[in-house]
Structure 1
């Protein structure tokens, strides 16, 4: 086989390899890191979009912090603490551990 034929074969292989794409398994895509969700924030994601006052009806077994817009908070990082971040209209925009 001449040089041009080998080069064309190699280019064809590279072209076919470039067309391949990975497929994500839905079961593995939904798995969350248990250390990153120690406080159980994933169970409270349905509160995003609700007012911060909706939290007054709930009872928590672990530390919780409701953070209104532009409020001062400590910078200590506690993975067991559940945080509800509010916007300027006192609507929950994020629920996370920390």
Structure 2
């Protein structure tokens, strides 16, 4: 019997998509390398296609992230960016990268 109300299943689906929600309740998702080279998330009126460039088992780091052809220079996305659909391209590489290091999302919540 699953007493986690689907939390683990939800976590796995997001991981497979290459997305991780760092703070529940905030509309922010960290980007990582998905488990598949190409994924299509069909929404009611639009779709989001996630494509991994240079996909293979040795490329575990992110070299670059493009959203609808534009380099976003960060490793996080706002829910609104995902909601409009389009093409999210994640370029993978084998070496540790400093991509997005200058634009790290930090919660704006105060204790």
Higher relative contact order (CA 8 A, sep 6+): 1
> Shorter-normalised TM-score: what interval?
under 0.3
For the pair shown, which has the larger CA radius of gyration, 1 or 2?
1
Normalising by structure 1, what TM-score? 0.25
Normalising by structure 2, what TM-score? 0.23
